[in-house]
Amino acid sequence: MAWSMFWTLVWKELRTELRGGRLVASTLALGVLLFLVVGIALNGASNLTADWSAGLFWMVVFFATSIGMTRADVKEQELGGSLGSLLAPIDRSLIFYAKWFSTFIIVLVSEVGMLIAFLVILNAPVPQNPLHFALVVMGGTLGLTGIGSFLAQLAGSSSLRDILVPLLLFPTTIPLFIALIRLTVISMVPTVSGAHIWVEVLVGYLVLFAVMPFLLYETMMEV
């Protein structure tokens, strides 16, 4: 019951996107544009160190997705879809997890494009350990979209929501941000040590923000 409900909700979100939600397109465009701007700011970036390019990659990804996430449920609210799912006889945290998962898929798709821009425009070195790198990107996106959709919901009723989502997202995700940059550097240059600490931070962060919504979402969605 719960699972079929979960997939229904996920599919609903993805279908909205497929019918011209344009979230992928706008996030991707913003991300690529930011890489371009960063490249210009660094005077035609070439020969960036792994530290620099990993940091820039995640900065652009965080920024682009945090802007995109703000718009994610505007359409749904216009069409009354969110009220409909609130009326469904299910645990409300399930709505959150479904939203998390669908946003994860959407952001992951646009990240593929951003990654190509990153490799091409910034001349970044191809990671020496691609599997490791892919896992880091997936884990990072999972954490980013989790807390991102939580905060987007939270700031949804604020009149400053467009600026508040990034403003709240960046400080809360600092641990994730640091862990992702270090892990990305390690996947680019495998000789750097300390992977296990950052995997711990990443997993700990994911667990924290997977459990907390379960406790707080019911309260948050009270009308």
Partner 1 sequence: MGKSSWFGVIAVAVLGFLCQYFALIWSPPEKTMGNLVRIMYFHVGSAWIAFLAFFVTALFAVIYLIRRNLLFDRIAVASAEIGVVFTSFTLITGSLWAKPIWNTWWTWDPRLTTTLILWFLYVGYLLLRGTIEGLERRARISGIFGIVAFADVPVIHFAVEWWRSIHPQVIDETGFNMPGTMIFTLMFAFAVFFVIYLLLLVLRTRQETQKQRMFLIRQGLQELRAKAFDDSVRGES
* CA distances to 16, 33, 75 from 19, in Å: 5, 24, 12
Length of the chain: 223
Least Å from the CB of residue 122 to partner 1: 23
Residue 78 or residue 222: which is nearer to partner 1 going by CB? 222
Which residue type sits at 127? P
Residue 116 or residue 212: which is nearer to partner 1 going by CB? 212
Residue 4 or residue 193: which is nearer to partner 1 going by CB? 193
Least Å from the CB of residue 40 to partner 1: 27
Least Å from the CB of residue 199 to partner 1: 12
* CA distances to 16, 152, 218 from 107, in Å: 14, 15, 25
Least Å from the CB of residue 21 to partner 1: 25
Least Å from the CB of residue 61 to partner 1: 18
Spatial separation of the C-alpha atoms in residues 134 and 137, rounded to whole Å: 5
* CA distances to 21, 56, 66, 185 from 114, in Å: 19, 12, 14, 17
| Cα distance from N-terminal residue to C-terminal residue, the chain | 25
Specify the DSSP class assigned to residue 159.
T
Do residues 56 and 122 touch, judged by C-beta distance below 8 A? yes
Residue 122 or residue 169: which is nearer to partner 1 going by CB? 169
Residue 57 or residue 205: which is nearer to partner 1 going by CB? 205
Give the footprint of partner 1 on this chain (CB under 8 A).
150, 154-155, 157-160, 164, 167-168, 170-172, 174-175, 178-179, 182, 194, 197-198, 201, 204-205, 208, 212, 216, 219-220, 222
